[in-house]
Structure 1
């Protein structure tokens, strides 16, 4: 069942609320509350070339027992490539997917390029207790070299590389002013294992072992 469709009246609820509790949603049309496990969503973001895909593979072994690690590009298919409103269709689909995965009791770590302005205004944002962002960054010269070294089929021409560097500059400048703020992690001199260890520590601080039991008891 779509998490924004009420199971009682069948109406689409474009503005769900928590219904007075972390694990309830209330339908704006009929007022019915229904159980829904609202966990934090952890986004490992940053420009292409900063190591997100490599870190995602490393995190599977480190976090796989308590988190579900997903790579955003898994759903980058033709039907979701509409660029309207910062790829709203793609973003909304990922939020709904993550929210339903989290009904298993494990928070999702979503690895892919995303920023608060692209998620925070969406109706599906209400399906999470909070969204937290950790952005991987890299020294511009190193990032440029990494992108130029990619296979030709990936389409990394000079114009696209410049756009990526500009996005990183924006992210570094605005990170602390975004709502919620974005934590930055420079990966320039770090091996994949070191970066994955830092991401692991960040995730554990946000969702320590036993957090679900504590939330259920409160």
Structure 2
């Protein structure tokens, strides 16, 4: 059984802030220490409409089980954003105990992951932001089905996020790839090479 890494396998205490030294966890309550797999996490990020959901299945097929590709939105409840991020980090860390790195597809920026206590479970978090031109994003988001609720104010918010991401990427350590003119296969080629260059 793969347990939440916050839970001590000896006494069952759950740590709010895990104590990590290298690839060893230590229980504050009983002092038990145990090893864990500390792998890199790959965050395929960027604004909605830039191609993350399109590339996810292509990447899963290309890697054939070498990595686990997951869609972040499947756990979204629209309430506690920080709790949502922390849950995903715990989930990815548990999956890493099976020996396969996780590629997490979803709109996230380093300031939302890096301060969390669960960040200690990963050797690195690599960020690749897919972006697109404002015109392309508007067209893609307006074409989405009504249940996704992409009205004009929400689209403008996403365009503002894209502009911020492009400007902030260098200081945040985020790599950027523009999908405006790229076919899904060409974009998948780029992302696959980016991931493989950073695999353990």
Using structure 2 for the length normalisation, give the TM-score.
Answer: 0.94
- Give the RMSD, CA atoms, in angstroms: 1.3
Instruction: Give the paired residue count.
Output: 198
Where 1:206 maps in the other structure, the secondary structure is coil
How far residue 75 of structure 1 moved from its aligned partner, in angstroms, is 1.5
Cα distance in 1 for partners of 2:171, 2:30 equals 38
How far residue 17 of structure 1 moved from its aligned partner, in angstroms, is 3.3
5 Å-filtered alignment, 1:74-113, equals: 74-76=74-76, 80-83=77-80, 87-113=81-107
Unpaired segments ≥5 residues, structure 1: 212-218
- Report what 1:31 is aligned to: 31
How far residue 96 of structure 1 moved from its aligned partner, in angstroms, is 0.9
How far residue 122 of structure 1 moved from its aligned partner, in angstroms, is 1.0
Cα distance in 2 for partners of 1:200, 1:90 equals 26
- Report what 1:117 is aligned to: 111
Cα distance in 1 for partners of 2:31, 2:157 equals 46
5 Å-filtered alignment, 1:177-216, equals: 177-178=171-172, 181-207=173-199, 211=200
Instruction: Check if 1:43 corresponds to 2:43.
Output: yes
- Report what 1:8 is aligned to: 10
**Does the CA-based 8 Å contact 1:40-1:131 persist in structure 2?**
yes
Unpaired segments ≥5 residues, structure 2: none
How far residue 93 of structure 1 moved from its aligned partner, in angstroms, is 1.1
Using structure 1 for the length normalisation, give the TM-score.
Answer: 0.87
Cα distance in 1 for partners of 2:113, 2:161 equals 17
How far residue 32 of structure 1 moved from its aligned partner, in angstroms, is 2.0
Where 2:58 maps in the other structure, the secondary structure is helix
**Does the CA-based 8 Å contact 1:5-1:12 persist in structure 2?**
yes
How far residue 30 of structure 1 moved from its aligned partner, in angstroms, is 3.0
Deviant stretches of 4+, over 4 Å:
none
Cα distance in 2 for partners of 1:57, 1:163 equals 27
